[in-house]
């Protein structure tokens, strides 16, 4: 009972600060776009809701894995987040990875949405098709992450 009381007290004194979520699993990537409904999708987040869509695309003449994430701040205050994604082959070797997050001190305003659009992974020919697993880490906080 004393431990439960202490946890409740700490939650009242130190309100929400940071949450982290990790998801992983099997995936097969196909050619597509962010607007396609049938590309591989992962949902993340507690206060900042994120939708990751993973697909093979072309960007300025380069074949890439597009791993961007659309985020919406559902909290009643500004929030910050950091998103990391990695792709692996059947032996567990890293094929490629990317990361991005909110970068200013204010974070994402309450009720606002945006796309973290720099998670583009150019790979040599033949490597896109080797991807069979993904792993995502997503951190959100009412403070700027990293400070």
The arrangement of strands across the sheet holding 18-26 comes to: 18-26, 133-141, 80-88, 94-101
Cα 108 to Cα 142: distance, rounded to the nearest angstrom: 10
Three-class SS state of 128: helix
Three-class SS state of 121: strand
Structure tokens at 83: 């998103």
Q: Note the pLDDT of residue 9.
A: 36
Cα 93 to Cα 90: distance, rounded to the nearest angstrom: 7
pTM: 0.84
Structural domains of the chain, with CATH: 19-141 (2.60.40)
10-residue mean pLDDT profile of the chain (147 residues): values are: 41 54 95 85 96 95 96 97 98 97 91 95 95 97 90
């Amino acid at each position: 009972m004393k431990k439960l009381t202490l946890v409740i007290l700490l939650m009242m004194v130190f309100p929400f600060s940071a949450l982290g979520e990790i998801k992983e699993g099997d995936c097969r990537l196909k050619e597509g776009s962010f607007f396609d409904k049938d590309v591989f999708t992962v949902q993340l987040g507690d206060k900042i809701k994120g939708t990751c869509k993973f697909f093979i695309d072309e960007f300025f003449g380069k074949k890439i894995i597009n791993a961007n994430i659309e985020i919406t701040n559902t909290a009643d205050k500004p929030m910050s987040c950091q998103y990391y994604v990695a792709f692996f082959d059947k032996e567990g070797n890293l094929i490629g990875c990317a990361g991005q997050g909110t970068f200013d001190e204010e974070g994402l305003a309450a009720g606002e949405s945006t796309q973290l659009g720099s998670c583009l992974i150019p790979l040599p020919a033949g490597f896109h098709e080797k991807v069979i697993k993904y792993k995502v880490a997503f951190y959100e906080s009412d403070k700027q992450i990293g400070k």
